[in-house]
Amino acid sequence: MKLLFIGDVVGRAGRNMLSSHLERLVDTYNVDFVVVNGENAAGGFGLTDDIVRSFRKLGVHVITSGNHIWDKKDFYSSLNRFEDVLRPGNYPPGAPGRGCGVYKTNIGTRVGVMNLQGRVFMGELDCPFRTADRFLEQLATETDVIFVDFHAEATSEKMALAHYLDGRVAAVIGTHTHVPTADEHILPGGTAYQSDAGMTGSRDSVIGVRKDIAVEKFVTQLPARFEAAKKDPILCGVLLSINETTGFCDKIERIHRGPDK
């Protein structure tokens, strides 16, 4: 099966790129299942009900997220209602929403999707490694394939989790830093890995934020209200070829598209 993962969608520029390119990518690569990280889709900060519905219409099967999923408080209740929207599963008990789920592809394959958040430079959360173990106990007998979106800052933590889960999941793909890394490969146990899938949004920016605002904040060290940038949009992601019988990856390929490709 083919699984397409699209990295952090940032603001209107990112949403427009997804809308313009997703159907073509699915057709070109015969994609069976689409996962999109949407935590920055609403103006760069959080998600809304309308955006979730629009992603569904485009053919997105699951929306993962990260620390910015909490930026829109009126979306908290939606996290409990929308089974196809995940938040990092290692937040403490009682947090709205869910961190993993099982979904069926159009060819009947059962895909487990797991969303975790790192702790290095990210705050005090439950252990993502032990949370992954717990989720795997739930998913092991219910799924044919397991995909992990690890939303983390530190490359070392992302790599460590991938090695920890090697041979137990199909792929561990990093998000959060918005810059695609050139380290895509398949680990010895058959698990595909990339430190960061990159961003779908404005390249003429500072990781999706208007560059003038970001630069001023670095120079002055004063508080600033960030806004999502709009110019020179790109789409970044990862295409995974997965053997449904073994549950492991045969191939991982970076996806990068400009506005006209």
Asked if 256 is an active-site residue, the reply is no
- Candidate list 61, 68, 151, 178, residue with the active-site label: 68
First to last CA, the chain: 24
In angstroms, the CA 94 to CA 209 distance is 32
In angstroms, the CA 46 to CA 50 distance is 12
Tokens 């790599």: give the residue: 159
Active site residues: 68
